[in-house]
Structure 1
Amino acid sequence: MTEEKHSGSEPADLSRFTLSSRAEIVQHLRTIIDQRQNVTVFSNKGKSFIITRLLDIDPERGVMVLDWGAKEHENRMLLQSERNVFVSAPSGVKTQFATGEAREISFEGAPAFEAPLPAQVIRLQRRDFFRIHTPVAQPVLCRLPDHPDGEKLIPLFDISLGGMALTLTPAQAGWLNEGMVLRQAVIELKPFGVLQVGVEVRHVMKLQLKNGMETLRVGCLFQGMNTPRETLVQRYIAQLERERRALVR
């Protein structure tokens, strides 16, 4: 696979994004509850995941309650997992934390999970959203039906809850320029559905591939995102991450 030349960089220092105070952690998790934000829970070293919601927090007991997932098999996998990673995005702030084992309980007459409160919570702003590369063998295409020069079809390089990066050839320079706003981008995120969202072009960067060829990387910010659209992207990202981890193993 062709890769880009880039300069090395040190791992990001996450200390300034980390909440360690129990009071701050509880307050931030309550924001997730109040906003009814979806939470993706990766379990069994990434082999499985569920999309759920936080229902309640009990700071005195040091536990939180999560809704029972839609798929029974994934629920059982979570109950068997020793360490679980939670990802959510209240108010556009990507939140990630890890906890120990979850157990099955009854909450307001329905099955639910109870898990320990995290010791730390990492919060990243929208621009720092976790991005994942889309498949190279089966490219994901973004259709721009309302482009001023007529409909365009452009492959994705990566995607996050906040936006995406597109790849243009030098011959396609000028298709997308910084500051351009398009009311509709249509992206099929198989097998979960089609994302229809507005986009704003934030930057265009020229890159050189290892084979000497040049390409343009176009960073776009999603506009008009709502809970169903975020859920769609979240499910797609979770599936790609699970597939990536399976290949690594």
Structure 2
Amino acid sequence: MPRAARPRRLLMCRPTHFEVSYAINPWMDPAKPVDTALAVAQWERLYELYAGLGHRVELIDPLPGLPDMVYAANGATVVGGRVLGARFRDAERAAEGPAYLEWFRSRGFTVHDPVHVNEGEGDLLLAGRYLLAGRGFRSTPAGHAEAGEFLRRPVIGLDLVDPRFYHLDTALAVLDTDEVMYYPGAFSAAGRAVLRRLYPDAVLVTEEDAEAFGLNVMSDGLHVVLPEAATGVAARLRERGFRPIGTDLSELLKGGGSVKCCTLEIREEE
């Protein structure tokens, strides 16, 4: 069956205030210089790419003092028009959750301010009827239970074991309703067993491509936007009938994020 693109509604945040002034993941090093203007230019190319593919892209205003707000995927999880806000583990990002929640609340969405830690689509990925949920470094089992109840989806918990892949969206990507790709080394033995059972035909990604954030992608069912350095992933996707589109977000990778991290999907339909 030929693959087909489905236009998406997306939320992004311009990296106006992007910098790396603290370290809360292994990719962040405040001693390394960051070119904010280059980060903005790379982000703008991603924005234009989405628009050119026919996606509807909306913007949330960046706030001073929140350099990681550009990673919009962490700001919430939206399923069927219901918005689960984020509650961050680290104090440096705590104010992002309320900012994103207010954006949705002011636009009439049904919102929930969470009690337990969850870091949005960083750790909660919708795959058909399931919410695949990462845990071990950021989001918590209690946060997953809260997400499942509010978003009305069964949750499949997956333990992350490699600190380089601290969020699920760095270790696994949903390509279509029932198709995923992932890096096996990011997961516990039990997590790998679950993924093999659910997705026996999944694309398995090498450590090299995972380190290039080749799993931090946005797929519309046909086009897969991914970091241009993840050439192995691109080749595997072409074999499966997808159309990979590489882009350079090397400055934003200094904060531990790439394509998916910059992209929050607004799903209005059940």
Same fold, TM-score > 0.5, yes or no: no
> What's the TM-score, normalizing by structure 2?
0.29
Structure number with greater Rg is: 1
Higher relative contact order (CA 8 A, sep 6+): 2
Q: Which structure features the higher share of strand residues? A: 1
